[in-house]
Amino acid sequence: MAGPLGEMFDHGCDALNTTLEVIICAQAMNLGRSRWTVASQVATLANFYLTTWEEYHTGQLYLGVFSGPVEGILMIVTIYIITGFFGPSFWDQGILTFLHLEHLPLFSKIPNVGLNETFMVFAAFGLAFNIVSSYLNVRRAMKATGKSTLRPLLFLLPYPIAAAIQIAWLSYPAYYSSAIINSSLFVPFLCAWGLQFAHQVGRMILAHVTSTPFPVWDWMWIWSIIGAIDANLPRLIGRPPIIQYSHGSTAWFVYGSLAISLFTYARFCTLVINDITNYMGIACFTVRKKDAAGIWRDATKEKKV
């Protein structure tokens, strides 16, 4: 984190870990292939996008009252420990049953939802608090520099647009009976989504450290839009999908999305690393630096006098 490359490494790794944690934590809480896992992905990525958006406009990385790298990780570790002792089914029991309140008349009209669903509601309140907190920080920074306090809100739009495209793709034939969610393609789909998100926020951090315009458009949207429209052709024009006409063809398209997303993000990382290391004259992963002639030199031991 001492320089721009370190900051991009930190945010890039966290962006990838976010989706991986969603997948693992959803399994630990027995959410599995469900709409709750999709909601968790949307909310978790939204929180990360919000933090990056905030840093771009304020120039500072804020760790709020409830932050992912601290409270979020501690909470996830606690979930893993509980699941390790009691199993994933522990989270299916109702919140009132867990608190031994289901027999009290006072709570008779309150839904006895599962602990896992209760956790999702709690996380939604945490996200709402972070949204307000982040905007207040950005608003304060914009007012201090005499800039518009509303214009930064426009740069929040790329995330809901990207998320809406993915949800639309998952919504065929119906959101509660998705062909992808209820199949082995769900995890590779989430991984492709996570890689596209990592590329999106990676470009945001790059814009932050290089003081360039905020990235709004991502060409990977085109690929995802094609997937979403094709899957929903029966709903849109009453004809079968052209590309995803069977489970096998859908699998090819989803895994193709994963491969393209991985290639795009790997290419982005490689180009950024090469540009920064060549410009600053410091190597990545090795202890080398450029000399006055621009030639890479290995580190040498200092001669003792």
- Residue pLDDT tens, the chain, 305 long: 457 777 888 888 888 999 999 999 999 999 989 899 999 999 999 989 998 999 898 888 776 666 667 777 888 999 999 999 999 999 999 888 888 887 888 777 888 888 999 988 888 888 888 888 888 999 999 998 888 888 999 999 999 999 999 999 998 887 778 889 989 999 999 999 999 999 999 999 999 888 899 999 888 899 999 999 999 999 889 899 999 989 999 999 999 999 999 999 999 999 988 888 887 777 777 777 766 666 767 766 656 65
Cβ–Cβ < 8 Å for 174, 239: no
* Polymer length of the chain: 305
Cβ–Cβ < 8 Å for 19, 193: yes
Predicted structure pTM score: 0.89
Burial tier of 176 (Cβ tally within 10 Å: 0-12, 13-18, 19+): exposed
Cβ–Cβ < 8 Å for 193, 260: no
